Structure 1
Amino acid sequence: MTRASRALAALLTPFALSSLPAGASPAVSPILTTSEARDVLSYADPATARVRHIDLDLAVDFDRQVIAGTATLDLIAARGAERIVLDGLDLDIAAITDARGRALTWSLGAADSYKGAAITIEIGAARRIVIRYATRPDARALQWLPPELTLGKARPYLFSQGQSINTRSWIPTQDSPGIRQTWSARITAPQDLRVVMSGEARAQGCKPASRGRRSFCFHMENPVPSYLIAMAIGDIGFRPLGPRSGVYAEPGMLDRAARELSDTEKMIDAAESLYGAYRWGRFDVLVLPPSFPFGGMENPRLTFATPTIITGDKSNINVIGHELAHSWSGNLVTNATWSDSWLNEGFTTYFENRIDEAVYGKERAATLADLQWDDLQRDLATATPKATRLHGEPEGSAGQLDYYKGSAFLRTIEQAVGRERWDTYLKSYFDRHAFQPQTSAGFLADLRRHLIGPDAALEAQLQLEDWIFSPGLPNNAVHVKSATLARIDADRERFKAGVPARSIDTKGWGTQEWLRFLDKLPRQQTAARLAEIDQAYALSASPNPYVRSAWLQLAIANRYEPVLPSIEDHLMHIGRILLIGPVYRALIEQSDWGNLIARRIYDQAKAGYHPVTRVGIERILKES
C-alpha cells in the first residue's frame, strides 16, 4: 500500500502487531470501530480524524496557577474529512492555526460539567494544527500545592492526574483510552524546581528558558492513551534503585522511599519472567506529597505513588507491583472505553499477585488475595446489581470490583486450564495486542480462539459470559485462602470471646494482618472495649494510615469520641481516597453526630485535597 493508504488503514481498523519485535512499537496504533468500542465519555470521532502525536510547549506559572503555551497536534484523517473533534474542559483557547500560522475556524460545543465540551476544528487539508491556550487555576487534572502543604515546606509543588478523563483539562486532545498518541514536551518552570514527566528526558536540543527559569524536554515514542501523560514539578530529588529503576521524591522522603522500594528491580525481573519483555525503558517511581488521591498511577516510565505506602515494613509494596503490572495490562493493552476498565485493573491485580508470589512467596500472595476476596464480598453485598458487572456503565462499577472480580475471573481460568497453559496464553495475548485498545468482546474472542478452541466442556465450565456481563459472582469463583489470615481469625475469635487485648500477640503484624483483625470485628463495641484496644495497640496514633483508617471506622461506628483528634489528624493529612473516603462515609452514617464532624473537617481539609478527591468526598457528603 502507499503511505497514505497505510495511514488510513491504521485510522479505521485494528490490525495485528504480533510481527513487531519485542520492545518495538508501531508508529501509529489502531483504533477499534465496533459498537462496544464507542467511548461515550469522549466527543472524538476518531474514524473521521484522529490525533497521532502531541507536541507541548508550556510555561508553568505558580503565582497564577496557570499553564500556558501551545499544543501542536499531528493528525490522521479519512479521505474527505473536513474537521476534527477534540475534548476540552475549561481551557482558555486563544487561537488555533495550521502549521503555517493560518487561522483555522473552530467552535466550542455545549459544556458538560463532567465531560467538558467538544472542540470542533475545520482542518481542511491541514494535518498539523497548533492550539495556543491556557489552563485555569481549578483545572481538574492539576493540583497546585503551596509550600506549606509539601514535606519540605519551602517550595511549591504541582502534579497532574489524568485518569480517567481529566487530561482534557490541561491538554486539548482526544481524551479517550482507545486513541493512542505519541507525545513530546518542553516545559519551563522556575529555576529552583525540577520537572519530571512520564516520558524519556531529553536534554539535547532542549531550547533554554528565559532568565530565572529552566526548561525540561521529554519524549514518549510509544503510543499511549492520553490519560497516561503525566507531569510533576517541585523540589524533587532522585535515588537509583537498580540499572533501570529509581525513585524520585522530596529530599526529606528520599531515603525512606528508597529503603521501602528496594525490591523494585526484583519485581521487574519477576514480571518479565512471567509475561515477556518490559517495553518502556525505565521504571521509576515518584513518591508524591500526601494529597495524591490514589495508591499509585501507572504512568509509563514514571509511576506516581502515594506516600501512604511508605510504612517501613514493605507491607504495602504490592502497590508498586500493581503499577508495574500495568506496564503490560493497561499501558500495553488498554481498555478501549471505561465500560471495560476491568481489562486494565482486573488483569493487573491478577498479575500483581503473581509478582508478589514470585518475589515474596506463596503465602504472602495468598494473604493479599484473601483480603481482596473480603473486599470483593463487601462490594457485592452493598452495590446495586448492575454495578457488579465487569462490563457495565462507564465508571459505574462498585468500589474496587473491577480489580477484585476481574482478578478472581482470571484466577478461575488459571485453575481450570492449569498455570503453565494459562501463562503461555497470557504472554501471547500481551504480544498479540501490544499498543492496542481492547474490549470485553475482543478479549473473549481472543480467549476462545487461542485458549479454549473447540472444547465445549471447558467453555461451559468457565461461564465466561456470566463473569463479564451478568451481575454478582459466578459459582465457580476461586477463593484463595491464607494460613496467615486463618491465624488472625483465630485471634479475633479469642478477642470476641473476651480475652484481654494485650493477650493477643501482634508482634510482626503488618497492614494485612491488622486489616483482617479490625475489619471483621463486630461493629458494635463498648467504649470500655474500644479504650482497651487503643491502650493496648495505640491505634489512634498509628503511623500506618491503612491501619488507622480501619480503626477509625470501627470507633466511629460506636461514636467513640476519644478518637476525634485522630480523625481530624488523619483527614487533614491524608489525601488518598481509599483511606479517607471510608472514614467520611462512616461519619455520614452516624446521622447528625457524624455529619457535623465530617463537614467541619472537610471545610478545613479540602484545600489540601486533589480536585479528584474533592469530587469524591463531596459526593459522599451529599448522601447524608
Structure 2
Amino acid sequence: MTKAPRLPLRSLTLALALASAAQAAPDAPSPILTTPEARDELTYARPEIARVTHVDLDLTADFATHVMRGTATLDILARPGATEIILDDNKLAISSVTDAAGKPLKWSVGAYADYKGTPLTIAIGAARRIVITYASDPGASALGWLAPPLTAGKVKPYLFSQGESINNRSWIPTQDSPGIRQSWSAKITVPADLVAVMSAERLTPKGEAAAPGWHSYRFRMDHNVPPYLIALAVGDIAFRAIDARTGVYTEPSVLAKDASELSDTGRMVTTAEGLYGKYRWGRYDVLVLPPSFPFGGMENPTLTFATPTIITGDKSNVDVIAHELAHSWSGNLVTNATWSDSWLNEGFTTYFENRIDEALYGKERAATLADLLWDNLQRDLKGAPDADATRLHGKPEGTYGELDYTKGSTFLRTIEYTVGRARWDAYLGDYFDRHAFQPQTTAGFLADLRAHLIKGDAALEAKLQLDTWAYAPGLPSNAVHVHSETLAKIDALLARVNAGAPIASVDAAHWSTQEWLRFLNGLPRQQTAARLAELDRTLHLSSSTNAYIRSAWLVLAIANRYDPAVPAIADFLPSVGRGLLIYPVYRALKQQGDWGMAIARRDYAVARGGYHPTVVSALDKMLGWKG
C-alpha cells in the first residue's frame, strides 16, 4: 500500500500588533496552520491574510420572533497590506458594519452554498476592530427555540445553541473554522424570568437589570477556542454544586435527580487530571438540557451540554460525561484544524474517556464499554458506502458513522498496548502540554509521534503501522480488541435464548444499559409475534424509562412489523431528540416500506417541532419530508 506523504508541520502566527493594548485578546493569538492538509474547505476565511482573534457579543434573545439580535465586535489581526477580511455567514440579517469609531465600512455577501452558507467580505482598510450589527434568522441552524411544552417544567420557553461543526455562523458572524481559535466575551439580554448560561466564565450569575422585564448576563472566555465551542442556553435554569469546582445546571423540576446521577463529576475531573495533566478551564459544570438536545453531550468549555437520556438512575451512562470532560484536553485544548481530521478530537476523547471509566469504576466496566465500541466499529466498517469513508483522515464531513470515535480510539489503544501504558501516558500528557490551545492535523500528530515517541526506532515504527491507521481504509492487522467478561456472560445467555429458552429465564434486574444493549441487539432480527410479545411482557420494554433500551427494542419490533409496538413508537419519537436514539428508529421504519413510512411520517409530523434544526434537516432528507 502506498503511504501518504509525510507533510512537514509549519505554522504561521501573524506578527502585527493590534491597534491598542486594550484591543488585544486575553491570550496571545494561537497559531494558524498553513500546510496544505490544514486548509479548511468548510470556511470562506483566509486567516493567513486577516483573522479574527476575539469576538465580543452584545445580543438580545427575542423569544417572540426566535431571533438573536445585537452586535458582534471583532478584533482582527492582519498581515501588512491586507484590506479586507472574509467571515462566514449563514442567513444573518446584517444592518451595518463599522469600525470602532462608528465609521461605516463596505461589506458584501457572496453566493449561498447549501450547508456552508455565504462569505461575508468586509473592506477593513486600516481598521483592526469592527462592529457588525445584525440579527439571526428564525431558522438558524445552531439555535433550538423550544416552546414550554417541550421542556421539563412545561411553563417557560427555552433556547439552546449547538455549534459543532459549522452551525455557529448562523448566529455569530466570525471565521467559523476549528483551526481559527478565538477568545470571546458576551453580554446576553434575556427576559427577566429566564436565566442565561454560556461556555465561559460567568461574570454575573444572577444577572443585571436591563430594560424593564429584561436581565443581562455577562461572560468571558480568556483562552482561544475554536468558534464552534461558543455556546448559549437560556431558560428556567437552576444550579446545584457538586463540589468547589463542579456542579449541575438544569430545570428546577429535575435538578435533584440530575445532580444525584452526576454526583461523580468532581471525581472525574480529579481522575482526568491524574492521567493527563491539569484541567485548564476553571470550573467544570454540566447543563442537562430538555429532551430535544440532538447529541449525547457537547463539550463546550466550562459547561458540558448533556442530553437527559443519560439520566437512567443507575449511573450506567455517565460515561457520556467522562467523554465530554475528556474533550477538555482532546478537542478543546488541542483541536482538529479541519473536520477532515475530526478523529483527533473524537478518537482521542473516546480513548481518554475509557481510561477515566477504568480509573473510577474498574477494568471490567471499561472493558465492557470498549468491547461494545468494537461492535460499533465492525458495524460501521461493514456499513460504510465505500472504502474512503473508513479512512481516519478523510472527507471534510469526517468518517462514516462513528468511526472517528471507534477506529480512532482503537488506534490509540493499539499504540498503548504496543509501547506500554506508562510510556504512552507520559507521551500523551506531554503532547497535550506542547500543543495546548493550538490546532492539529493528522500529519502533525504523526510527526509528533515519530519525534517524541518512536524516536527513530524502525522496529517500533513497523509494529505501529501509523500511516496505515491514519490514511488507509479498513482496519489494520494490529488492531487491539478488548474483551469483556460481562458481555461474554450476556452472549452465553443469548445463545440459550436464541435456542428457545423462555424469556422468563432472563434475570435482567441489575443489568446496566450496556448489558441491555448487548442482549437486545444480539437477538435475531426475525422474531415471531408471540416471541416479541413474550419479550415485551416479561422485560417491560415498551414502558422502559431508559431511552437506550426503548430505542433498541423498537428497532427490533419494527423489523418484524410488530403492530402492538406502534403506540410505543408514537410515544417515544416525540419524547427524545437525541439523534443516536431516534435515527435508528426512523431508519428502521423507512426500511419497512409503506407500512413503516406511514408510521414514520405520522409520528414525525408530531415530533418535528420539538427537534433541533440539525436533526430536522437530517430527518427531512431521510423521510423526503415535504411538510
Structure 2 gaps, min length 5: 1-10, 17-24
Contact 1:245 1:284 in 2 (8 A): yes
Q: Deviations over 1:337-359 (max 9, x none)?
A: 00000000000000000000000
Q: Deviations over 1:257-311 (max 9, x none)?
A: 0010000011001100000000000000000000000000000001000000000
Q: Secondary structure at the match of 2:447?
A: helix
- Asked whether 1:442 is paired with 2:428, we answer no
Q: Deviations over 1:153-184 (max 9, x none)?
A: 11110000000000000000000000000000
**Partners in 1 of 2:608 and 2:204 — Cα distance?**
38
Aligned to 1:523: 525
How many angstroms does 1:404 deviate by? 0.4
Equivalent positions of 1:119-138 (< 5 A) are 119-138=120-139
Q: Secondary structure at the match of 2:14?
A: helix
How many angstroms does 1:395 deviate by? 1.3
Determine which of 365, 370, 389 is the counterpart of 1:387: 389
The count of aligned residue pairs is 607
Contact 1:160 1:232 in 2 (8 A): yes
Contact 1:143 1:160 in 2 (8 A): yes
Larger deviation, residues 162-171 vs 381-390: 381-390
Q: Which amino acid aligns with 1:613?
A: V
Q: Which amino acid aligns with 1:39?
A: D
Contact 2:298 2:304 in 1 (8 A): yes
**Partners in 1 of 2:598 and 2:462 — Cα distance?**
53
How many angstroms does 1:599 deviate by? 1.4
- Asked whether 1:613 is paired with 2:615, we answer yes
Aligned to 1:424: 426
Q: Deviations over 1:204-243 (max 9, x none)?
A: 9987411110010000001001100000000000000111
Contact 1:25 1:435 in 2 (8 A): no
Aligned to 2:399: 397
Q: Which amino acid aligns with 1:110?
A: A
**Partners in 2 of 1:198 and 1:586 — Cα distance?**
36
Aligned to 1:327: 328
Determine which of 544, 547, 552 is the counterpart of 2:546: 544
Q: Which amino acid aligns with 1:517?
A: F
Say what the alpha-carbon RMSD is for the aligned residues. Answer: 1.6
Pair 434,579 (structure 1): closer, same or farther in 2 beyond 3 Å: same
Aligned to 1:497: 499
Equivalent positions of 1:558-573 (< 5 A) are 558-573=560-575
Q: Which amino acid aligns with 1:10?
A: T
Q: Which amino acid aligns with 2:583?
A: G
How many angstroms does 1:604 deviate by? 1.5
**Partners in 1 of 2:370 and 2:618 — Cα distance?**
26
Aligned to 2:7: none
**Partners in 1 of 2:376 and 2:624 — Cα distance?**
24
- Asked whether 1:27 is paired with 2:9, we answer no
Q: Which amino acid aligns with 1:363?
A: E
**Partners in 1 of 2:206 and 2:492 — Cα distance?**
64
Contact 1:104 1:121 in 2 (8 A): yes
Q: Which amino acid aligns with 1:450?
A: H
- Asked whether 1:365 is paired with 2:383, we answer no
Q: Which amino acid aligns with 1:124?
A: G
**Partners in 1 of 2:59 and 2:258 — Cα distance?**
30
Q: Secondary structure at the match of 1:189?
A: strand
Equivalent positions of 1:220-235 (< 5 A) are 220-235=221-236
Contact 2:207 2:215 in 1 (8 A): no
Contact 2:72 2:173 in 1 (8 A): yes
Contact 1:29 1:223 in 2 (8 A): yes
Q: Secondary structure at the match of 2:33?
A: coil
Contact 2:527 2:560 in 1 (8 A): yes
**Partners in 2 of 1:263 and 1:248 — Cα distance?**
15
**Partners in 1 of 2:520 and 2:608 — Cα distance?**
28
Aligned to 1:339: 340
Q: Deviations over 1:565-617 (max 9, x none)?
A: 11111111100000000010011111111111111111111000000111122
**Partners in 2 of 1:541 and 1:9 — Cα distance?**
57
Aligned to 2:583: 581
Contact 1:12 1:33 in 2 (8 A): no
Pair 76,555 (structure 1): closer, same or farther in 2 beyond 3 Å: same
Contact 2:272 2:326 in 1 (8 A): yes
Larger deviation, residues 412-421 vs 380-389: 380-389
Pair 206,492 (structure 1): closer, same or farther in 2 beyond 3 Å: closer
Q: Which amino acid aligns with 2:465?
A: Q
**Partners in 2 of 1:76 and 1:86 — Cα distance?**
13
Aligned to 2:237: 236
Determine which of 2, 7, 11 is the counterpart of 2:14: 11
**Partners in 2 of 1:205 and 1:558 — Cα distance?**
53
How many angstroms does 1:622 deviate by? 4.2
**Partners in 1 of 2:12 and 2:320 — Cα distance?**
39
Q: Which amino acid aligns with 2:425?
A: D
**Partners in 1 of 2:126 and 2:232 — Cα distance?**
33
Contact 1:26 1:435 in 2 (8 A): no
**Partners in 2 of 1:382 and 1:11 — Cα distance?**
44
- Asked whether 1:603 is paired with 2:605, we answer yes
Contact 2:387 2:474 in 1 (8 A): yes
Q: Secondary structure at the match of 1:70?
A: strand
Q: Which amino acid aligns with 1:282?
A: R
Pair 608,498 (structure 1): closer, same or farther in 2 beyond 3 Å: same
How many angstroms does 1:64 deviate by? 1.1
Aligned to 1:294: 295
Aligned to 1:557: 559
Superposition misfits of 4+ residues, deviation over 6 angstroms: 204-207
Pair 257,207 (structure 1): closer, same or farther in 2 beyond 3 Å: closer
Aligned to 1:472: 474
Contact 2:12 2:48 in 1 (8 A): no
Aligned to 1:3: none
Pair 205,372 (structure 1): closer, same or farther in 2 beyond 3 Å: closer
Larger deviation, residues 390-399 vs 72-81: 390-399
Q: Secondary structure at the match of 1:614?
A: helix
Determine which of 408, 411, 424 is the counterpart of 1:409: 411
**Partners in 2 of 1:391 and 1:194 — Cα distance?**
41
Equivalent positions of 1:92-491 (< 5 A) are 92-203=93-204, 208-383=209-384, 384-491=386-493
- Asked whether 1:82 is paired with 2:83, we answer yes
Q: TM-score, normalised by structure 2?
A: 0.95
Pair 80,204 (structure 1): closer, same or farther in 2 beyond 3 Å: farther
How many angstroms does 1:27 deviate by? 2.0
**Partners in 1 of 2:474 and 2:346 — Cα distance?**
18
Pair 497,354 (structure 1): closer, same or farther in 2 beyond 3 Å: same
**Partners in 1 of 2:253 and 2:389 — Cα distance?**
42
How many angstroms does 1:12 deviate by? 7.7
**Partners in 2 of 1:486 and 1:477 — Cα distance?**
20
Pair 204,478 (structure 1): closer, same or farther in 2 beyond 3 Å: closer
Pair 497,9 (structure 1): closer, same or farther in 2 beyond 3 Å: closer
How many angstroms does 1:505 deviate by? 1.4
Q: Secondary structure at the match of 1:413?
A: helix
**Partners in 1 of 2:206 and 2:291 — Cα distance?**
35
Structure 1 gaps, min length 5: 1-7, 14-23
**Partners in 1 of 2:597 and 2:149 — Cα distance?**
28
Q: Secondary structure at the match of 1:539?
A: coil
Contact 1:341 1:402 in 2 (8 A): yes
Contact 1:58 1:69 in 2 (8 A): yes
Q: Which amino acid aligns with 1:473?
A: L
Pair 205,493 (structure 1): closer, same or farther in 2 beyond 3 Å: closer
Pair 563,12 (structure 1): closer, same or farther in 2 beyond 3 Å: farther
Larger deviation, residues 93-102 vs 57-66: 57-66
Aligned to 1:20: none
